[in-house]
Amino acid sequence: MTEGDSWPLPALLLGARLKTLRGRRPQNSLAKKTGYSPTLYSRIEAGAVRIDKPEAIALILKELGVPAGPEFDQLMSLARDASVPGWASSFRTAYRDAVPESMVRLSELESRATSLYSVETAFVPGLLQSDAYRTAVTEWTLLPSQRRLAERVVELRTERTRRFLAAKPPSSVFFLRESVLRQVIGSRELMVEQLELLLTYAETSRIGVRIIPMDLPLALQVSSVTRLDFEDQLFAVPSVIYNEWAGRGDYYRGPLDGETSSDEFRDFRFVIDTAARLAPGREDSRRLITEALKAHRSHL
């Protein structure tokens, strides 16, 4: 890990290695012997939780039979890295009601991925939103009791985008339903600004924007699904799929060598593969964005 990293990626790496070391040994048995609840131990292996007490990981390693030496030291170093809160966690601490833990984790992982594939059926992807569109979507989607926090939520989402684009973003492809381009969020003027920005992103290195025409079927039980792939580091790093539906975000870890992927991971990978199959290439996608842009301009 490098300076500035925070817990999600090292936690994912640590958890995957712990699962490999456990092999066929029952998870509940190991959790009991190391003093963890089965639920917490499962979340540690999934890389879904920050390690608030890194020294406690030593108990797991000893029970797994990892002797003192290079691998033990590497895993303990990962445990310490997996305890670092990270920039997005401060928003979660101060505004828990409006900033779900799943969004904090996603925000931290995006800038560390090597590739990203995202399917969006409701709105322009958060990472490609203009400031005005982002504000309008935030106000539209927050519950009435949460709207007092809208400014801070927008701040988190803005910083998420800035960090994603600041250095070298992962090789990314965003698949959008054409209906996302046609709906009016905020105002026609706002949509013109957003679609002009989307055209700019379509020409940006390492970012692909593909539009799925409205006349093509896409019966998906998702509003947003994202797959993140990572470069292997000390140990192999599994892919992660994030699914967002009805305000809830769930993560599914992909398989390592010798593992069988979960049904959920396979299902959502199928969703992404289907979108990739249906979406036309760059030129046709640019045409669909341009046509939607002209339609909004015609109503000004």
In this predicted model, what pLDDT tens digit does every residue of 75-96 receive, in sequence order? 999 999 999 887 766 666 656 6
What integer best gives the mean pLDDT of the chain? 87
In the predicted structure, residue 218 carries a pLDDT above the cut 70:
no
Average the pLDDT over 141-165 and give the result.
Answer: 84
pLDDT, residue 168, reads: 77
DSSP character at residue 242: E
Between 218 and 212, residue with greater pLDDT: 212
In the predicted structure, residue 299 carries a pLDDT above the cut 90:
yes
pLDDT tens for 21-31 read 998 889 998 88
Any idea which architecture 96-297 has in CATH?
Answer: 2-Layer Sandwich (3.30)
Average the pLDDT over 29-39 and give the result.
Answer: 88
Average the pLDDT over 46-68 and give the result.
Answer: 91
Burial 119-154, CB ≥16 within 10 A → b, else e: bbbbbbbbbbbbebbbbbbbeeebeeeeeebbeebb
In the predicted structure, residue 246 carries a pLDDT above the cut 70:
no
pLDDT, residue 94, reads: 59
pLDDT, residue 1, reads: 42
Kind of pairing between the strands at 115-120 and 224-229:
antiparallel
pLDDT band at 2 (very low <50, low <70, confident <90, very high): very low
Distance CA 51, CA 84 (A): 8
Same fold, 8-81 and 96-297: no
Average the pLDDT over 39-66 and give the result.
Answer: 91
pLDDT tens for 172-214 read 999 999 999 999 999 999 999 999 999 999 888 889 999 999 8
| Chain CA centroid to CA 274, Å | 19
Domain locations along the chain: 8-81, 96-297
In the predicted structure, residue 154 carries a pLDDT above the cut 50:
yes
Query: Roughly what angle, to the nearest 10 degrees, separates helices 8-22 and 38-45?
Result: 110
pLDDT, residue 81, reads: 92
Beta strands in 1-134 (DSSP E): 115-120
In the predicted structure, residue 53 carries a pLDDT above the cut 50:
yes
pLDDT, residue 34, reads: 85
| pLDDT above 90: percentage of residues in the chain | 50
Distance CA 176, CA 158 (A): 20
Domain topology for 8-81: 434 Repressor (Amino-terminal Domain) (1.10.260)
pLDDT band at 281 (very low <50, low <70, confident <90, very high): very high
For the entire predicted model, the pTM comes to: 0.87
Between 92 and 224, residue with greater pLDDT: 224
| pLDDT above 70: percentage of residues in the chain | 91
In the predicted structure, residue 65 carries a pLDDT above the cut 80:
yes
pLDDT, residue 242, reads: 93
